[in-house]
Homo-oligomer: A and B are copies of this chain.
Amino acid sequence: MSTPAGTRRRADAVRNRQLALDAATALMAEPDASLTVEVIARKAGLGAATVVRAFGCKDALLDAAVSRLLDPVVRRARELIAETTPTRALHVFLRELIAFQAAHHAINDQLGGLDLPATTALRADLVRAVEEMIDGARHEGTVRTDIDPAVTTTLLGETALAVARAQPSCPELVEAYLTVLLDGLRPR
């Protein structure tokens, strides 16, 4: 379904698709990059038409690029769940998530009202993983049980994103956030 249908795919097309993906991914780590097809194409050393053709449309390219960045984050969440206690996993992961978001805030800023299927699926995976951490931490007695787990997850996700956004102009924010939020989440 994704491999040769009736005809062959040329090697240079495959390589160029990869170049476009690399360029887009790299741009997402650059604050204030504009992420237009032109800019991505120039960075990849390709024409704009080639970049678009390789993915069908611009949004598909963005979806692929974001997914590639998000995938290791989801893996990391699962790894932490497997290797340590839920409480520790939650604390460590939250800090790492903020760092990731701060380093790629194009992902959150420029991609507001877009339909990116692969990205959406990965985000769901990520939410599931955090919910598992919170659920485990509740059983360990380190997270309050008077707030719905799903709401707690949303609260964490949204506020962490906000902190990541604002971090560039206030580096101390992250530590303050983690201190206040994790304290506030403890049972009374």
Contacts and interface: CB of A to CB of B under 8 A. Distances in A.
Interface of A: 109, 112, 144, 146-148, 151-152, 154-155, 158-159, 161-163, 165-166, 170, 172-173, 176-177, 179-185, 188
A151 B170 contact: yes
Contacts of A184: 179-185
A151 B179 contact: no
16 contacts: A144-B180, A146-B179, A147-B176, A148-B176, A151-B170, A154-B170, A155-B176, A158-B162, A159-B159, A159-B162, A162-B162, A179-B184, A180-B181, A180-B184, A181-B181, A183-B188
A116 B163 CA distance: 23
B112 A180 contact: no
A170 B181 CA distance: 19
A22 B114 CA distance: 30
Contact of A158 (B147, B173, B179, B182): B173
| Ranked 4 nearest A-B pairs via Cβ | A184-B184, A162-B162, A180-B184, A183-B184
Nearest to A159: B159
A175 to B, nearest CB: 9
